[in-house]
Structure 1
Amino acid sequence: MILTLALLAGLIAAWLLIGVVEKFRLGLRFMQALLYVPFRLAYRLADDRIKIARNAAAPVIYVISHQSRLEPALMLSLLPEDTLHILDEVSARSPWFEPWRELGRTIAFNAEHVFVSRRLVRVLKGKGRLAVYLPDAVEPDIKTFRLFRAVTRIAMQADARIVPIFVAGARALPLSLTPADKAPRRWFPRLSISVLEPMTIAELVARNPDQSSNTNALFDRFAEARLFGSDLNRGLFLAIRDAADRVGASHPIIEDVISGALNYRKLFIGARVLGRRFEAVTAPGEAVGLLLPNANGVVLSLVGLLSASRVAAMINYTAGPASVTAAVRTAEIRTVISSRAFIDKASLADIVAAVEEGGAKLLWLEDVRTSVTALDKLAATLLWRWPLQPQNAAKPAVILFTSGSEGTPKAVVLSHRNLLANAMQAEARITISPADILLNVLPVFHSFGLTGGTILPLVTGVKLFLYPSPLHYKLIPEVARKARPTVMFGTDTFLANYARTAKDGDFSSLRFIVAGAEAVKPETRCVYRERFQAEIIEGFGLTEAAPVVAVNTAIHGRDGTVGRLLPAMRMKLEPIEGISGAGRLWLDGPNLMMGYMTSDRPGELQPLDGWHDTGDIVSVDREGFITIRGRAKRFAKIAGEMVSLGAVEMLVQSLWPEEHHAVVAVPDKRRGERIVLVTTADDADPDELRKFGRQAGAADLMVPNDIVKVEEIPVLGSGKTDYVSTRKLAIDRLGLSAAA
C-alpha cells in the first residue's frame, strides 16, 4: 500500500513539475498547463507555433480545423483564457470534456445554422477573442461553406485578424470525426500544431488581388494551415515512410499488371536493395537517369535513388533519339537505369544508342537483381525504415525535361520540398484517403504522372495502380474494371478514346478523374458524367511548378476553367497590349522549381530568381477561377489586334471534330502576321470555315485564309502538338522561308 501511495505521489509530483515547466514555457495559466500535460506527453506534441496564436493582438478569430473531439480540449488548454470558444453541441455536453470546459468561456451553436453574428461582433470589438471550430472538409459542401462566409463577415465587421490552426495527425485519433477506412486509427500518433500568422481579411485578399473574393481568401488561408501541417522539410523518402507509419507498413501501396501488389514494407525493402547498388556506381547528388515504364520497378528505383541521395532524371523515351541525347548531356547524366525486357518489348534500341551517344552507361535492373545476395536482402529487411544517406529537402530530388512544344527543351530541377509541397497542396484541395485506389496511366517522365500519379499516392497512403502506356485504349477500360480505381488521371484525348471503347461498367468505380495538359471538351465531360457517373475535374500545371498550379474540385468547380490556385501560391497578371480582361500569368510558391539546366550550360543549375513567368495568358473571375486564354507565344498580332491561336483551333475543331488541326502564325508583310491552319481534313474549305466562324460569332481576324493539308500533324513524344515543326512546315508549304 505504501509503495502504491509513493508511486502515486511521485506521478502527481511529476505531473505538477511538468505543468510548471509548461506554464512558463508557453505562458499558460497553471490549471491550463496541468490539463495540457496529458496531451503533451501522450502525443509528443510539436507546439512551438502556438505562441503565434497566444501573442496575436485582439480582436482575433482563431479558425480551427475540427478533425476530432480532441481539438476543443486542446485549444482550451493552450489559447488565452479570455477566448470565447464556439463549440459544437456534442463537445458542449460531453461529460469527459468538463475539466477543460472550465478553463475558458464557451458557448454552443447548432452547425445547421449560421452564427448569430451581432453578438460575436460586439465581443470582438471589445478587444475580444473567438475560437471557431470548422468542419474538417477539404471540399466543404454548401452548408459548411456558409460558416466560412459567416466568419468572414464577422471578421470584416470587427476588423479582426484571422489565425488558422490545424492539428496535424488528429484525424488518426480514436476520437476522430473521419471514418476509420479513410483515416486509420492510432492510439498515440505524434501530433503537431500548425499555426499561421494573424492577418485581416483585407490583408488576405491583398496577397492575391487578382483572384480572391473575401470568403475564398479565408478558405485558402485555412487550407494553407493544413498544408503547413505537413513537414515539408522532411524529404520525400521520410515523407513516404511517415505515410507507412500512419496507415501501416502492411498497407498495399503499389501494383502493376505484371508484378502484382507490394505493401509499404516490401516497397522499402526493394528500394533499399536497389539503392545500395545505385550507391556503388554513382556519387551523392549525381543525376541518375530513369528509363523505365509505369511499373513497380520504376517506383522501387525512384525511392532507391531518393534513399541514396541521388537525383532521379526522368528520361522521356518517346521524345526521339535527338532529344534523349540532348537530355543526357544537359543534365550531365553518367548512368541510366533501365530494363532489357522493357527495351526489347518497346523496341527502344535507338533510345539506348542515344543514351550512350550522350555519354551515359546503362545499368540494367536484370543485372542488379542477379547480383543481390541473401545477406543484402536480410540487411534491407532489418533496416528498411532508414535511408541510405542523410536526407535534405532543400536538395534536388528530380530532373524533368520540358516538352519543347514551342522551343528547345529544358531540364527542370525540382527539390524534395518542391515535390512534397505540390503533393500536399493537392491533398489540401482534393479529397483523397487511404480508402482510394488511383489508376495512373500517365508516364512518370511527365510531371503530372510523376507528382500527381506517383508521389501523391505514396505520401498519402492511396494505393497506386500503374499501367505502362496511356495509348492502350481498348485495354485500359478492362484494367479499370478489374482494379476498381476510385481516382484516375488523364488528358482529354486519352479519356475520350477510353470512353469510345469502354463498356458501361468499366469506369463505374471512379469518384472523379483529374484531367490536365489540354482543355477538356464538353462532350468528354458529358460522357463520363452520364455513362460512368464520374466527374472530370480539370486542372492546370507546368513542369516548373512540380506541376499543379490550379485545379477544380468535385464540389467547387466551374466547367471551362482550370479551377482555383492551390494553397500557398501567389499569382500576378501582367497586362498585355491588345488583350482585354486577361494578362500574362506570373507565379510564386513553395512548389516552384529550383531552376533550369540548359544545353549551353550543362550540369549547371540556373536558379529561379523570384517570380516565374509562365508564358500563359489567363483571365480570372472574382471567385478565383482561372480560364486559360492561350500561351503568350500562341497569340498572333494581326494589324495591331491580338488573336488567340488556341481559340482558332477550338473553332476549327468544332467544325471538323474528327480531324486533327494545328493553327500557327506566319510572317505577313502587310499585317505583321497571318494565321495558317494546318489540318488533316482533306475537305477543309476556307469559305466553309469563314461561314461557320460568322455563325459562331468569331471575328473575321480569327478565321484562317491559308489552309495547309497534311497526312499527320507533327507531335512531340508527350503527345502534344509540335508547333515549332508545324510552323516550319507551314512556312515551307507557303513559300515563306525567306520572309521567316
Structure 2
Amino acid sequence: MTLTEMLDRSVRTFGPATALRDDTRAVTYTELGARVGDVAAALVARGCRPGDRVALALPNVLEFAYLYYGIARAGGIAVPLNPGLRRAEMRRLLADCTPRLLLAWAGIPFLTEGEGAANGEGAANGGHTDDLGIDVVVLDPTSLADFAPRDESPPLVPRRGDDLAVLLYTSGTTGEPKGAMLTHDNLVVNAQVDQGLVEMGPHDVLLGALPLFHAFGQTCCLNLPLVSGSEVVLHATFNPRHALTAVGENGITVFLAVPAMYTALLHLLSRLPEEYDLDSLRMTISSGAPLAVELLHRVEERFGVVMLEGYGLSETSPTATLNVEGRRRPGTVGTPLPGVQIRILDQETGEPVGGDGGGVDVVGEVAIRGHNVMRGYWNAPEATAAVLSPDGWLRTGDLGRLDADGFLTIVDRKKDLVIVGGENVFPREVEEVLYAHPAVAECAVLGVPDARRGEVVGAAVVLAENTEATEAELRAHVRARLRSVKVPRHVWFVDALPKGGTNKILKREIALPEELRLPV
C-alpha cells in the first residue's frame, strides 16, 4: 500500500471528522484529501515526475501534511528538512538530494540570512538557491492557494509499495547526515503495526508537537493518527505551557514526546501543579532518546497514565520495538514489532552472539531486519554496505542486550562509549544513576581526555530549579551505586544542554570546561 492509498482510504472512511488542527484552523479528512490533490496537480504542472525529489522545509503547520501527501500523490519523493537549519547546512543537503523543488516556509533562516539568501518570489514564482539551480517556492498560510489552484483535477500517478516515498536525513548526531531511503511500504506498514499495538482509533486526539521533519514525528504524529482516523493537534514548535494547556483544551488522549520534553513538562508542573487539566490523557509514549527509569516513573506518577517506551531509528521508519500496555518492562524498550527481528552482534567480529544473535544478557551491537528497514542511504553505497547486509540486517550502532523474554535494553550508542584505562563504561548507566538524584534535572555523561588513562568519565549537569548540589555530592551519589571506574571524575554544572531540532541532547556539542581540555 502507498501513502496515497492509505490517505484515500482514511478520507473515504472518516470524511467529515476533523483530521488536523492548529491554534486557529482545522480541516476534515475530506478537506485534507482535496488539498492534497490540489498540491499534486500543482506539482505535476511544475514538471514533477515520478521519482523526482521535492524538498520541504516547514514547521508543524497544516501545510506540511498537504505537501507531504501531495508529493506522494504526484509520484515524487518527499525530502523533509529541518526548517531551522542554517543556510550552509541546508545547501549541503540540497546538493546531495538535488530536488526539483524546495517548498519553504516564509521566514526560515535559509531564506533570510546572508547576502546570498535564496530569492524565492512567493508561491506563484520559483526563485533559485544560488548556484544549485533549484527552484524555491515560498509558502505561508495565505499563498498555498496560489501555488495549488483548485480548478485542476488531481492527477493519478501510479506507484507501488516498494517505490521510494521519503528521503529522510539522519540527525547527524554521530557524523554527517545521510539520506535514509524509505519506501511506501516501510512507512505505511510501520504506521499500521503501531496502530494495532497502541489501539489508536477515531476516539483519539493526539498532540503533534514532535517535529514532522523527523522520523518519530512523521510516522507517529502524522501517518499513525491519520491511518487510525484520529485527530492531530499540531504545534509549530514545542512549548511546555502550550502543550499542557492543549491537553485540557483539546481533549488530548495520546501524548508523544522525547525524554527532554517530558523533563520540561515535569519542571513546569512542579511550579504550577493546579493549573493544567490532564484528565483526558490515556497514554504517554517516549522514544527518540534514552529514557531514564526514574523519569518514566515520575511521568507516570504526575500524569496518572501509563508510559510506553519504544525504540527505532530514521533507518527503521522509525519504530522497531515497543513496550505495549499489559506487556511492558520499564528500563527496556520493549519487544520487536510483529514482522521485525532483533539480534545482537559481537562488537569485535560482527557475528551474531550465541550463533543466532539471541544470546541472553550479552551486550553487543543491535541489528534489525524487517518491513521497516530502509533500502539504503541516498548516493552513499559504501555507507549503505557498512550498515546493511545483503540479507537485510541493519547494524544500528547501538549497544544493547536481549533478556530471556525478548525484551531489548539499549545500553548506549557504540560511539558514545567511554573507555577508561581499557575498560568500557556505558554513559547511559551513569546517567540513570544521576537522574535518580533529586537535584538533577538533566545530565549528559561523556568522555573527558586524560593524559594517563586516555579518557575518564565526565558529567555535564543541569540542576532542577530551587535545588543545590555539589560535584562531591553527585560523585558520592554515583559511587554508592556503581564501581569506581564509572564514577565521574569531573562534574560541571551548566544552565542548559545543547539539543538538536528533535530535542535530543547533542553530546558532540557539549563544551568541556577550559581546565579539562588537554593542551594541543
Q: Which range, TM-score by smaller chain?
A: 0.7 to 0.9
Picking from 363, 376, 379, the partner of 2:137 is: 363
Deviation string, structure 1 residues 212-269 (Cα, Å, up to 9, x no partner):
xxxxxxxxxxxxxxxxxxxxxx211012212333x24333322222222x22221111
State the alpha-carbon separation in 2 of the partners of residues 251 and 408 from structure 1: 42
Q: Determine which of 661, 670, 687 is the counterpart of 2:443.
A: 661
Q: Find the counterpart in structure 1 of residue 395 from structure 2.
A: 613
User: Which amino acid counterpart does residue 167 of structure 2 have in structure 1?
Assistant: I
Q: Give the structure 1 partner of residue 478 of structure 2.
A: 693
Do structure 1's residue 581 and structure 2's residue 362 form an aligned pair? yes
Partner residue of 1:625 out of 407, 423, 435: 407
In structure 2, give the amino acid aligned to 1:356. T
- Alignment-derived partner of residue 317 in structure 2: 546
- Listed as ranges, the matches of 1:411-426 within 5 Å are 411-426=179-194
Matched, 1:276 2:41: yes
- 1:716 is aligned to 500
Aligned length: 487
Shift of 1:322: 3.3
Pick from 582, 590, 597 the counterpart of residue 371 of structure 2. Answer: 590
Match of 1:337, SS state, is: strand
699-708 or 408-417: bigger deviation? 699-708
1:640 equivalent in structure 2: 422
Say whether the 8 Å CA contact 2:263–2:441 is kept in structure 1: no
Between the aligned partners of 1:368 and 1:513, the Cα distance in structure 2 is 34
How far apart are residue 600 of structure 1 and its match?
10
Cα distance in 2 for residues equivalent to 1:453 and 1:460: 11
Q: Please list, as runs of the form range in 1=range in 2, the aligned pairs for 1:725-736 lying within 5 A after superposition.
A: 725-726=509-510, 729-730=511-512, 733-736=515-518
Task: Flag the structure with larger Rg.
Answer: 1
Q: Does 1:510 align with 2:277?
A: no
Q: Report the counterpart of residue 349 of structure 1 in structure 2.
A: 112
Aligned-pair CA distance for 1:543 = 0.6
If each structure's helix is expressed as a fraction of its own residues, which one has the higher value?
1
Give 2:263's aligned amino acid: A
SS in 1 for 2:16: coil
Give the alignment's Cα RMSD to 1 decimal.
3.2
How many angstroms does 1:270 deviate by? 0.8
User: Would you say the 8 A contact 1:235–1:391 is kept in 2?
Assistant: yes
Give the 3 Å change call, closer, same or farther, for CA 656–600 of structure 1 in structure 2. Answer: farther
Distance in structure 2 (CA, Å) of the matches to 1:357 and 1:608:
39
| Change in CA separation of 1:258 and 1:623 when aligned onto 2, cut-off 3 Å | same
1:284 positional shift: 2.4
Partner AA of 2:474 in structure 1: L
CA distance in 2, matches of 1:575, 1:536: 31
Cα distance, 1:683 vs structure 2: 7.9
Residue identity matched to 1:432 = M
For 2:460, the equivalent position in structure 1 comes to 678
Q: Is the 8 A contact 2:292 2:435 kept in 1?
A: no
Equivalent residue letter for 2:202:
P
Question: 8 Å contact 2:290–2:428 — kept in the other structure?
Answer: no
Which residue of 1 is the match for residue 222 of structure 2?
A: 454
Amino acid in the other structure paired with 1:705: R
Check whether the contact 1:661–1:678 (CA below 8 A) recurs between aligned residues: yes
Using the alignment, how far apart are the partners of 1:257 and 1:625 within structure 2?
40
**Is the Cα–Cα contact under 8 Å of residues 407 and 724 in structure 1 kept in the other structure?**
no
Q: Mean alpha-carbon deviation: is it higher for 301-310 or for 679-688?
A: 679-688
Distance 1:731 1:573, change over 3 A: farther
Partners of 2:276 and 2:441 lie apart in 1 by 29
AA in 1 matched with 2:314: T
> CA offset at residue 465 of structure 1?
2.1
* Rounded Cα–Cα distance in structure 1 between residues aligned with 2:491 and 2:131: 39
Alpha-carbon shift at residue 547 of structure 1 (Å): 0.4
Corresponding position: 1:430 with 2:229? no
1:30 corresponds in structure 2 to none
Q: What is the alpha-carbon distance in structure 2 between the residues aligned to residue 333 and residue 325 of structure 1?
A: 11
For structure 1, list consecutive stretches of 5 or more residues without a partner in the other structure: 1-233, 381-386
Q: Which consecutive residues of structure 2, in runs of 5 or more, have no partner in the other structure?
A: 119-127, 349-359
Matched residue type, 1:689: L
Q: 1:496 to 1:663 in 2, by over 3 A?
A: closer
C-alpha offsets along residues 623-669 of structure 1, whole Å, 9 cap, x if unaligned? Answer: 22211111111212223321101222333344474454322224545
